[in-house]
Amino acid sequence: MNSAVPQTEDAGAAASARPTDVLGTSAAQARSAVLEELIRKDPGQFRVLTGDRPTGRLHLGHFFGTLHNRVRLQELGVELFVVIADYQVLTDRDVADNLLQHVEELVLDYLAIGVDPARSTIFTHGAVPALNQLMLPFLSLVSVSELNRNPTVKDEISHSRQSAVSGLMFTYPVHQAADILFCKANLVPVGQDQLPHLELTRTIARRFNDRYGCGKAVFPQPDALLSSAPLLLGTDGTKMSKSRNNAITLAATADETARLVKGAKTDSERHISYDPATRPEVSSLLLLAGLCQGRTPEQVAADIGSAGAAALKKVVTESVNEYLAPIRARRAEYGQDRAHLRAILGEGNERARAVADATLAEVRAAMNTCY
Ligand code: TRP
């Protein structure tokens, strides 16, 4: 794998339009379009790292936002690393509850959607000491005011369940940079909220290379790849989130799905139309059915016409259950053999450790800390 993303003329133009500090969403979108073209031409140039916090089962918001993008990239021939970010759970709570169970649930979700452990690497922070060790030199490369400015961290602090904000909350984006850079990933498929972390990762890579690289780039400056799917709302019309009980998980049964959709918020207008600005709840349901059917939400709305919210919910339930049936079947199958599941994670951890050890050795050599 070549760690430097090839730059085309277009890529150069998109990059120069990018503000130096904060990567704007529109610049990231323009860059993502360029990247898609490069991926199609030469997937072998790319290594992807992405991941999730093990706090519960993944849901359809995760799936259409980022998960299916990972599998798509894998199928295009891009090398994929997926981190189960166990240390990151401790950013906004004192104790990470049921960690082992949540880690296994994530592995199950990944396997169910088609992450192939023969080609892709699934691992946890906790099992890769050399990754964590990168955090120390990386911390020395960022200022306290840069950490203070991170809008995603600010938002998480305002929703935190802790009475005091921990040092890990402020510094986890640096740890996330270590997640990405330990394997020299050059592509990170993320949602918009992760863009500040990506920008920090690029800054750290650049500063490390400038300070210690002796003219050679030790780390690539990874690109964000934004998903093109619009945001799905939860069944109550607010952000889909497992803590709000408004999320359809990949693992939910067909009956649970039907119940959740039945209780979903709609509006009193009988004619069903797609208009996210004025009818956010109905539109999100149409979007969900459309994503599952591989059609536009407008087409789904046209089918239903004036049949009302009950008809819409029936279509949504059937579409989701049909779409998820093979994923759920695969999940159930993998779930029957916990030992196999643990073995898959063990192999992923081992692979990640080898990569992290090699990168740490390079970092120590660059920093003159080989004694
Ligand atoms: N911060 C991400 C989230 O909350 C999870 C994550 C951890 C991640 N490490 C990462 C995402 C590295 C992308 C790359 O969902």
Total count of domains within the chain: 2
Q: Strand ranges (DSSP E) for the chain?
A: 47-52, 79-84, 121-124, 187-190, 223-226
Which atom of ligand 1 is nearest the CA belonging to 191?
15
User: If you measure from the C-alpha of residue 176 to the centroid of ligand 1, how many angstroms do you get, rounded to a whole number?
Assistant: 7
User: If you measure from the C-alpha of residue 314 to the centroid of ligand 1, how many angstroms do you get, rounded to a whole number?
Assistant: 35
Residue 80's pLDDT band (boundaries 50, 70, 90)?
A: very high
The predicted-structure confidence for 20-48, as pLDDT tens digits, reads as follows: 334 567 888 888 899 999 999 999 999 99
| In a shared domain, residues 324 and 358 | no
| In a shared domain, residues 78 and 207 | yes
Residues 6 or more apart whose CB falls under 8 angstroms from that of 269 comprise: 279, 282
Burial, 144: exposed, middle or buried (Cβ in 10 Å; 0-12, 13-18, 19+)? exposed
The predicted-structure confidence for 93-139, as pLDDT tens digits, reads as follows: 999 999 999 999 999 999 999 999 999 999 999 999 999 999 999 99
Domain encompassing residue 73: 9-231+337-367
Is the pLDDT at 17 greater than 80? The verdict is no
Nearest residue by C-alpha to atom 14 in ligand 1: 50
| In a shared domain, residues 297 and 347 | no
| In a shared domain, residues 308 and 319 | yes
User: If you measure from the C-alpha of residue 50 to the centroid of ligand 1, how many angstroms do you get, rounded to a whole number?
Assistant: 6
| In a shared domain, residues 58 and 192 | yes
CATH number of the CATH domain containing 23: 3.40.50.620
Residue 5's pLDDT band (boundaries 50, 70, 90)?
A: very low
User: If you measure from the C-alpha of residue 235 to the centroid of ligand 1, how many angstroms do you get, rounded to a whole number?
Assistant: 25
Which atom of ligand 1 is nearest the CA belonging to 88?
7
The predicted-structure confidence for 169-183, as pLDDT tens digits, reads as follows: 999 999 999 999 999
